[in-house]
């Protein structure tokens, strides 16, 4: 395989931080050559609440990935999570400037700049300005207007913003861990990259990455995102409910949930008991499995109702390809059945695919964001390489990415 570039992704989640080093071949194939998943501390619902602890977790993840690969990490694509992430759509229109009225790269960039110039409060950072499509002299649905003759060029963009202070704190942690930032990528878009097919994105589809602290949602149609949002609930809420309802500690609740939990109440025997042993309680005690699963089902039903609210807010009937679930908490048994029941649309659970190398344990829903960050990086590399929309703010430069790493064996 001819290597095109080596790039790095860092997924800073509520319960785990994952640094991945990936090699991208000339034909776009991705191979993992280094990985460092570590338990996270210092975050709450995807947002940094303790700088020192987060720096330490990131540095440990980076160190693991470096040791495994023999590379030194210099810069990385970093995922941004948290409820503060928001998407909006904006249009930009310009008059085509050249004497022969032929659309140039500069015209495209100017149109994107106009779309970007919508009033964004000073406490928000722009993460992405993604061109969704162009309108050329009133002709809609143009994907690549370069070289077309026209008087007016209009671009439709999807803009993703985040809380400036949350972004600053995350950036600070990454930099203090010794890593520079290639690009900050909103978690919902990274997850989408890992689990949605191009056909689904074209047709119209939604993705929900149900993590520990948050659920990241993105909707795509005609190949591009048009709605991005994060809701502040995830698997931790389920575990908390189980702990309170069953009167057990959090670790016991987590274990019971993963081992015996399901959202499919019909699959649970009404008489079935589970024995829980807790510290200072040697004899153990029997609790009802159905009682626990009712707690789980209620919380997950509410979560799906919140997801349905988001899909409805974005527009009815816009995801004929249904909802794709991923994230660690999507591994809960019976989740697709409950999702279909609440949403009345096709639902499937997906894990990352199309990646080789050191993928043991990584091809599960919990790593969708982690692997998606590398796939996002590989894609922006391809876009920049072909020279399109060079000045679009969200695209990483090829030169920069080529220099992303230095070998520690000079
Ligand atoms: N087999 C399983 N069944 C049910 N839930 C599970 C299973 N495995 C993991 N989970 C849940 O998945 C959650 C962790 O998911 P994930 O690793 O995607 O979170 P994260 O990336 O750390 O958090 P976030 O993305 O919200 O910041 C936990 O709440 C955990 O209980
Ligand atoms: Mg996550």
Nearest to 33 by CA among 77, 73, 60: 73
Q: Which domains does the chain have, with CATH numbers?
A: 86-163 (3.30.1490.110), 197-349 (3.30.420.40)
Strand blocks (E) in 164-264: 180-186, 205-210, 215-221, 224-231
List all residues whose CB is within 6 A of at least one atom of ligand 1. 13-16, 46, 81, 211-214, 234-236, 239, 254, 257-258, 327-329, 331-332, 366
Which tokens is 76 given? Answer: 């990385």
Protein residue whose Cα sits closest to atom 22 of ligand 1: 15
CA 236–ligand 1 middle distance (angstroms): 8
Q: What is the pTM of this model?
A: 0.92
Residue 181, pLDDT score? 97
- Which whole number is the average pLDDT over 404-408? 40
Mutate to test the pocket of ligand 1, among 241, 366, 373 (most ligand atoms within 8 A of CB): 366
Tens digits of residue pLDDT in 135-153: 999 999 999 999 999 999 9
Percent of the chain residues topping a pLDDT of 90: 85
Q: What is the mean pLDDT of the chain?
A: 91
Per-residue pLDDT at 390 exceeds 50: no
Residue 172, pLDDT score? 98
Residue 360 neighbours by CB under 8 Å, 6+ apart: none
Nearest to 90 by CA among 120, 66, 55: 120
Where is average pLDDT lowest: 215-229, 326-340, 380-394? 380-394
- Which whole number is the average pLDDT over 16-20? 98
- Which whole number is the average pLDDT over 292-300? 98
Mutate to test the pocket of ligand 1, among 40, 212, 242, 257 (most ligand atoms within 8 A of CB): 212
Quick one: 263 exposed, middle or buried, by C-beta within 10 A (0-12, 13-18, 19+)?
buried
**pLDDT band at 28; cut points 50, 70, 90:** confident
- List C-alpha distances in Å: 402 to 88, 179, 216, 385, 393: 32, 15, 30, 12, 19
Per-residue pLDDT at 35 exceeds 60: yes
Mutate to test the pocket of ligand 1, among 186, 329, 333 (most ligand atoms within 8 A of CB): 329
């Amino acid at each position: 395989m001819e290597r095109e570039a080596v790039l790095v992704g860092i997924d800073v989640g509520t319960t785990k931080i994952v640094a991945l080093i990936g090699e991208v071949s000339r034909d776009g194939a991705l191979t993992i050559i280094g990985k460092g998943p570590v338990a996270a501390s210092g975050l709450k619902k995807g947002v940094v609440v303790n700088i020192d602890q987060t720096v330490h977790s990131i540095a440990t993840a980076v160190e693991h990935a470096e040791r495994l690969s023999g590379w030194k990490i210099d810069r990385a694509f970093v995922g941004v999570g948290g409820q503060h992430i928001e998407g909006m759509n904006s249009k930009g229109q310009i008059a085509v400037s050249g004497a022969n009225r032929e659309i140039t790269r500069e015209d495209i960039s100017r149109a994107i700049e106009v779309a970007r110039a919508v009033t964004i409060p000073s406490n928000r950072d722009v993460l992405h300005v993604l061109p969704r499509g162009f309108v050329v002299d009133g002709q809609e649905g143009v994907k690549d207007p370069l070289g077309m003759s026209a008087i007016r060029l209009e671009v439709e963009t999807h803009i993703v913003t985040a809380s400036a202070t949350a972004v600053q704190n995350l950036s600070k942690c990454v930099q203090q861990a010794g890593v520079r930032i290639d690009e900050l990528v909103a978690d919902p878009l990274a997850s989408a990259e890992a689990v949605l097919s191009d056909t689904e994105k074209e047709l119209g589809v939604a993705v929900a990455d149900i993590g520990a602290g948050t659920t990241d949602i993105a909707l795509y149609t005609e190949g591009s995102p048009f709605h991005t949002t994060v809701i502040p609930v995830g698997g931790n809420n389920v575990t908390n409910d189980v702990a309170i309802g069953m009167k057990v500690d959090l670790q016991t609740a987590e274990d019971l949930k993963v081992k015996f939990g399901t959202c499919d109440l019909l699959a649970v025997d009404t008489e079935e008991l589970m024995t829980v042993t807790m510290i200072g309680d040697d004899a153990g005690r029997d609790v009802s499995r159905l009682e626990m699963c009712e707690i789980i089902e209620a919380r997950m039903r509410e979560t799906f109702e919140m997801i349905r609210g988001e899909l409805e807010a974005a527009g009815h009937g816009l995801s004929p390809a249904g909802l794709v679930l991923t994230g660690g908490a999507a591994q809960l048994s019976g989740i697709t059945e409950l999702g279909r029941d609440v949403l009345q649309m096709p639902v499937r659970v997906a894990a990352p695919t199309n990646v080789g190398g050191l993928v043991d344990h990584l091809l599960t829903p919990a790593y969708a964001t982690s692997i998606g960050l590398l796939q996002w990086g590989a894609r922006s590399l391809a876009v920049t390489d072909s020279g399109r929309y060079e000045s679009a703010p969200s695209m990483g430069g090829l030169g920069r990415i080529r220099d992303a790493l230095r070998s520690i064996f000079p």
